[in-house]
Structure 1
Amino acid sequence: MNKKILIIAPHPDDEVLGVGGTMARFAAEGAEVYVVVATKGYPPDFPEELSQIVREQALVAHQLLGVKETQFLPLPAANLDSVPYREINHKLLEVFRNIQPEILYIPFNGDLHVDHQRIFLSALVAARPNGINAPRKIYAYETLSETNWNAPYLTPNFVPNVFVDISSYLEMKIQAMEIYASQIKPFPHERSPETLRALATLRGSTVGRFAAEAFVLVREII
């Protein structure tokens, strides 16, 4: 697989929660995997030291998973609703021009966190099919404690129709998440190794595999 794959994460750890096993598998199969973390935590909401630690943890986790390149954008975490759409669009358009991905993974538009919703919309603007750098496939991923905490009768419900077998990469995904020591939580919190394993087992058994990650196909150009 000699393809360019781009994962856009609103915050550090979203990419591992939603796409960690897929990233590891496709990187091992020869794909060029890129990760863009869209936001950074700024004082007073987030201590500068913590923001730096999380970014360092992201780089170590991504190295484990085989990521070719990680980019960090300066957009304000948990505050994207105060940023003009065109500014977010412009940042992501620059990313697309530089990487020119063939496959794109983005957060689900029904996620509870507004940052996820804004990144979903701006990513689709940057990935418009009439653009010269439009990816051929776009998938939305699920993020524990964001995707499943919204009200499915009021917002889009995550109903996956694409599954990636990560049976051989589940433990690597969990190890990568554990590198995010500042973000990992003890069970029964959803962002715990036990819950990550449980979700992967559920998604895998849905399609007769030991472990899988699930996605919603947004668009495919053949």
Structure 2
Amino acid sequence: MTNDLPPRRTFSVRARLLSVTGLAVVASVLIWHSQMADLLAFDSAADKQPVVAGGPGGSPPPQVPLKSTGVRKTPSETPTVSPKPKPKKTPTKTSKTTGTAGKSQYSEESIEGLSPKLRTRLTKAMTAAKAAGVPIRINSGRRSAAKQRRLFNEAIKRYGSYQAAIRWVLPPDKSAHVQGKAVDIAPQAAMVWLNKYGYRYGICRPYDNEPWHFEALTTPGKKCPPRKTSSAAELG
């Protein structure tokens, strides 16, 4: 029997401790790496989920695809624009006696500006006179008040006074021409014919000093009233 002790297994115990410690360190590193991966994983499926506001009851609102961009919008984000009605143009009415520039629409040499009664009667008389070989020409039918005023002022200057002027030209408010109820004709043969046969159509010569001036003063077929000396008698 000897006093020598068996050798200690120092290396194997130390190796085991190192192995256990190493495994613990490796495990810690793996856990840390996994946590860091979760934090840095920006491309995870959870991050790719769109965030939408909850609709009634917590459900997301319905989405409407846009044809042009493919982006979805809610119906509230797509306003409905009603087409504006086109403005209607109001047609401009033209007066029977004046044009757009305020000028007379009818020529003084035309029967169109005359009163319906005188126009109808004069048309029949002109047809009969033409058939008899005596054409009737209109020198002055309906006149504007402005022209009648000018003629009246010229007559005052020419004849020297108001009283002398009204023997030939009446002021606008008294003139039958302004009302379309008088007509001055030519030539001389037409004056003679209408003075003789005008009553058949209800047309008469009212003044002695104006053989060219005629008005509708009687019923067709009846005798004309006696003539007056001049138009001054109208203001008597």
Same-fold status (TM-score > 0.5):
no
Instruction: Identify the structure with the greater strand proportion.
Output: 1
- Look at both structures and tell me which one has the larger radius of gyration over its CA atoms: 2
TM-score by length of 2: 0.24
Q: Which has the higher contact order (CA 8 A, sep 6+)?
A: 1
